[in-house]
Amino acid sequence: MTGLSVEAVMGRSWLDCIHSDQRVEARQRMGIGQALRIGDGEFQGLADQWFSAHWSTLYDGQGVVSGAIVIINDITERRLREQENWELAHFDGLTQLPNRILFWNRLEYALRLAHRNQQTIAVLWLDLDGFKAVNDQLGHAAGDELLCQVGQRLQTSLRDSDTAARMGGDEFTVVLASMAHPQDAASVAQKIIDLIHQPFALTQGPAQISTSIGIALYPDHAHTAKELAHCADLAMYAAKQAGKNGWRLWNSATSMA
């Protein structure tokens, strides 16, 4: 269960048998457990198994801790099911990108950090140009394959701290967290446009599309997740009206379009 042999764990603290990033929490729970005489928790072993621990602290006649009764259960299967269910609820089944639920979660989190650290973040709203034609000419399987490849190209254009999500259909979003300069959003948008415009090699044949992108910045354009996404969406439509295969930054004129 721990990922260590019997010989390896003899004489060692049970804290040595769990992941190092969980040991601080485990010590805190143990401290609370000693004060309350009971405690519990769920921890991950060194071999990635999960187990639950329930313990009761034992005291001698002088009130000194003399030991503990610990009950350990393997909960790996349950944790794997929970993780699988979480992923099904938060990731797009086709592209494996975050879905709209996780997009809003990530955006809200990025906004809180940006507010606390006085940073700029950007939302990019993407709509594919020419996707319907590919779907009609090559079939829905080709359209699905194209969406998957678009998702892959999006991920290669971003930092680990950024988020690319599929909102549904042929619409995608990007959250650019903690940008050093507001103009960096335009650079990323152009990079994405160039990547998406490169030909796609699909099973049913080659395809070429483009994308129109709207950009909205916090705190310049909006302060809430809904407002920021709405501004980016409006800017995306302005990019389409301007001829597609380009990006537009939200401004007050965009909102009147």
129 classed as catalytic: no
Q: Which two tokens stand for residue 92?
A: 């797009």
Distance (Å, whole) CA 192 – CA 2? 45
CA 141, 143, 147: angle at the middle one, nearest 5? 120
Structure-token match 């259909």, residue found: 169
Q: Which two tokens stand for residue 163?
A: 């988020």
- Parallel/antiparallel/unpaired status of strands 171-179 and 163-168: antiparallel
Check the CA dihedral 162-193-97-228 and report its sign.
positive
Nearest residue to 196 (alpha-carbon basis) of 142, 132, 145, 149? 149
Q: Please pick, among 170, 184, 220, 233, the residue that the annotation labels catalytic.
A: 170
Length of the chain counted residue by residue:
257
Catalytic positions: 170
